[in-house]
């Protein structure tokens, strides 16, 4: 049996890469027994889906875009 910490790591990892058969097996067994990790897995998948395809009608005001551009430039220079 794996810990919740290990299960949450596997739940996050599976969003970015395929898990091995053994990782999938131990995760599935853990999820059968742990409602908290099942909820975390559903929330993680939802968030991953939402962030992967944001709504097309979202637009930042030009002032916000400019602040972000300046902050990125400063971060790149190490300020």
SS3 per-residue string spanning 28-75: HHHHHHCHHHHHHHHHHHHHHHHHHCCCCCCCCCHHHHHHHHHHHHHH
pTM strictly above 0.85: no
Which residues in 59-77 are b (16+ Cβ under 10 Å) and which e?
A: eeeeeeeeeeeeeeeeeee
pLDDT in tens, the chain (79 residues): 899 999 999 999 999 999 999 999 999 999 999 999 999 999 999 999 888 886 777 788 889 989 999 999 999 888 6
End-to-end CA distance of the chain: 46
């Amino acid at each position: 049996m794996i810990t919740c910490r290990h299960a949450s790591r596997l739940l996050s990892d599976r969003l970015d890469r395929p898990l091995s058969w053994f990782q999938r097996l131990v995760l599935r067994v853990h999820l059968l027994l742990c409602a908290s990790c099942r909820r975390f897995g559903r929330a993680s998948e939802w968030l991953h889906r939402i962030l992967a395809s944001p709504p097309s009608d979202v637009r930042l005001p030009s002032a916000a875009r400019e602040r972000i551009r300046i902050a990125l430039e400063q971060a790149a220079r190490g300020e």
